[in-house]
Amino acid sequence: MEEFWSALTNCPNNTILELDLSVQFLYLSSNKLWGSIPESIGSLLSLKYLGLSDNHMNGSIPEGLGKLSELEVLDLGENSWEGILTEAHFINLTRLKAISIFSYDPISLIFNITYDWVPPFKLRSIDIRNCKVGPAFGVWLQSQTELQIVTLSSTGISDSIPEEWFLKLSSQLTFLTLSYNQIRGRLPSIELRFPYLHSISLDHNKFEGPLPLWSTNATILDLENNLFSGPIPSNIDKLMPHLQELYLSENHLNGTIPPCICDMHDFAVLSVRSNHFSGEFLNSCSPKSIISIVDVAYNNLSGNMPSSLGELSNLQILTLNNNNFGGKIPNSLQNCPILKSIDLGGNKLSGNIPPWIGGSNGSMLYMLQLRNNFFSGHIPQQLCNLGYLRILDLSHNNFSGTIPNCLNNLTSLLLNVSVTPPRFYTQQATLTLKGQQLVYNTTLLLVKSIDLSSNNLQGEIPQEISSLILLGTLNLSRNQFTGKIPTKIGKMYWLETLDFSHNHLSGQIPQTLSSLTFLSHLNLSYNNLVGRIPWGNQLQTLTDSSIYVGNPSLCGFPLSTKCPGDDTFTTTDAKHINDDGNDELWFYVSMVLGFRRILECLRHINCEEIMEVCLFSII
């Protein structure tokens, strides 16, 4: 046990000098233990509780554990285990009541247990995550019918679970989690009596058939990403009166969304994205409703956008995109004081952006998505008041007028401003970044994007936009913009996507563009730009000539059109006429641009923001 105990001696305030082999409780969780469990752990024959969770331990789990005939609780969660577990690891654990094994490294720990093996124990709690247990749902699991807590998550089970197992499960069951497997088949259609079952999570499997509504006391029902079909029962408020969170996204459900959901006393989360729901949606809500999350995206819902949403004073996330909603954004939404995200894209909405968005009641918004609708009018100045705004997408509408020149008031795109999403919900959004549509969820709050493309905006691009140094995506394509590209655009240090294509921009391309060292998607095509294409740094890697096509007066690499003097032009003596008409030896300038850029960034943002943006840059 030398390796094991040498690790213990490195723990703070550790004074263990010897080990009493009659010890019954060994609780060492949430320390900084490293190394593996020694085989001699089997010498602790009186041990009833072994807790090693939340450490830095690794290696294989010794068969010596199988000698601990008095062991009741085995807690090895949150470590980096590997190797194989067999029947020998459990052969004498006749008193075992709870087991928890959670490896940080997926499928590095394998349960290699014979399908027909019947274990000597009857568990009350099983928690196995990120370990390979499947593909079969073996007899050693089927025999556990006294369970009160079940977690088998990311275990590689692709079998169907016998209906008898569910029927035999203890009525004392409180938590049932079978998430992130490939479990198939139908669940029992009869109503199962689990009076204490509070949480049901069967998400990310291949279950099919009608929704299992087993427990009248359940507060969480998560069936996302399965093959369930049919409607949500219209009397779900009677069947599950204590329900607080309902996750049914990514299934084949249809029918209407029961309006009674909006009147359930403790109901907070409705997530039914990507199904086949139709009809109108929540035409009335109780003023006492505490709903905070509404996600009904990618369905066939119709009618006007319901004004009853304004009665949800706790609403934080509103996601209605890709339906058939019409009408205008109801002014009643200004009665939702903590609204943080609005996604209405892909509908048939019209009218102006209401002025209350950006007023005092819209100040917490970090995402505003209105793309692909029929909105018109000007972009209101009030949007500049949204200090937390990270994602603004107004693309594919009929907006006109100019871009407000107050964009430098968008604090979250200038400085590190913390945004706190709901802790119990992972939001999903589809954004056009790097020239393609991408789905973001866990990394959504790392995105910083402005997309005003495909509108009728005009005038010059305001110089103030160059102040948004944390912006990652700027898409102003397919508008009617005139004038020059802002000369200080090189200060937008973290820009990855820049699209000014299909406008009427003129003048030269600013040489400072080459200082955008994260730039990976650039499109300046179909404008009236003139002169030599800048050279140096990141621009040398963007060699696709389509970036500049449709500008007949542009010349230089990567276009086939040569500039005057190209016969003697080399990268080592390249000269550039800057915007003031002065010559500068750009080769020498470009050599120090990277270092200058880092210094400039450090003056504006802190280390936390640098880490955040760097993480996003590799997504």
Backbone angles phi, psi at 187, to 5 degrees: -95, 160
Decide if 16 is inside a domain: yes
**Residues 133, 112 contacting (CB under 8 angstroms):** no
Q: What SS3 class is residue 445?
A: helix
Decide if 278 is inside a domain: no
Q: What is the pLDDT of residue 353?
A: 95
Of the residues 111, 132, 153, the one at which a domain ends: 132
CA distances from 128 to 98, 405, 608 (A): 11, 55, 34
54-71 CB burial, b ≥16 within 10 A, e <16: bbebbbebbbbbbbbebb
Decide if 400 is inside a domain: yes
Q: What is the pLDDT of residue 28?
A: 85
Of the residues 132, 151, 182, the one at which a domain ends: 132
Q: Which residues contact 74 (CB under 8 A, 6 or more apart)?
A: 50, 65, 93, 96, 98, 99, 100, 101
Decide if 218 is inside a domain: no
**Residues 261, 241 contacting (CB under 8 angstroms):** no
Cis amide prior to 259 (ω within 30 degrees): no
Distance of CA 275 to the CA centre of its chain: 20
**Residues 465, 487 contacting (CB under 8 angstroms):** no
Give the span between the Cα atoms of 45 and 128, in whole angstroms: 24
Decide if 487 is inside a domain: yes
Of the residues 88, 108, 132, the one at which a domain ends: 132
Q: Which residues contact 350 (CB under 8 A, 6 or more apart)?
A: 326, 327, 328, 373, 374, 375, 376
**Residues 391, 369 contacting (CB under 8 angstroms):** yes
CA distances from 240 to 197, 218, 220 (A): 11, 7, 10
Give the span between the Cα atoms of 176 and 320, in whole angstroms: 30
* 555-606 pLDDT per residue, tens: 999 999 999 877 765 544 443 444 443 334 333 333 343 444 444 444 444 4
What is the pTM for the complete model shown?
0.86
CA distances from 33 to 8, 24, 27, 80 (A): 6, 20, 12, 12
Q: What is the pLDDT of residue 41?
A: 87
Q: How many C-beta atoms surround the C-beta of residue 316 within 10 A?
A: 21
Give the span between the Cα atoms of 191 and 167, in whole angstroms: 10
- Beta strand pairing call for 575-577 and 583-585: antiparallel
Exposure on the CB side of residue 437, measured as CA atoms within 13 A: 6
DSSP structure class, residue 148: S
Decide if 156 is inside a domain: no
- Cα torsion angle, 450, 537, 531, 563, sign: negative
CATH of the domain at 106: 3.80.10.10
In this structure, what is the dihedral angle of CA atoms 497, 370, 465, 408, given to the nearest 10 degrees? -130
* 265-320 pLDDT per residue, tens: 899 999 999 999 999 998 888 778 899 999 999 999 999 999 889 888 899 999 99
Residue 166 is inside which H or E element, if any? helix 163-168
Q: What is the pLDDT of residue 142?
A: 94
Distance of CA 100 to the CA centre of its chain: 27
Q: Which residues contact 12 (CB under 8 A, 6 or more apart)?
A: none
Q: What SS3 class is residue 535?
A: coil
Q: What is the pLDDT of residue 442?
A: 86
Decide if 458 is inside a domain: yes
- Positions of the chain with pLDDT under 70: 1-21, 360-362, 568-619
Q: Domain count of the chain?
A: 2
Decide if 8 is inside a domain: yes
Give the span between the Cα atoms of 170 and 179, in whole angstroms: 20
Give the span between the Cα atoms of 166 and 194, in whole angstroms: 10
Q: What is the pLDDT of residue 361?
A: 56
**Residues 176, 198 contacting (CB under 8 angstroms):** no
588-615 CB burial, b ≥16 within 10 A, e <16: ebbeebeeebeeebeeebeeebeebbee
- The token duo for 343 is 């996604």
Residue 521 is inside which H or E element, if any? strand 521-523
Q: Which domain holds residue 518?
A: 351-619
Give the span between the Cα atoms of 216 and 194, in whole angstroms: 8
- The token duo for 149 is 């807590």
Instruction: Tell me the β-bridge partners of 576.
Output: 584
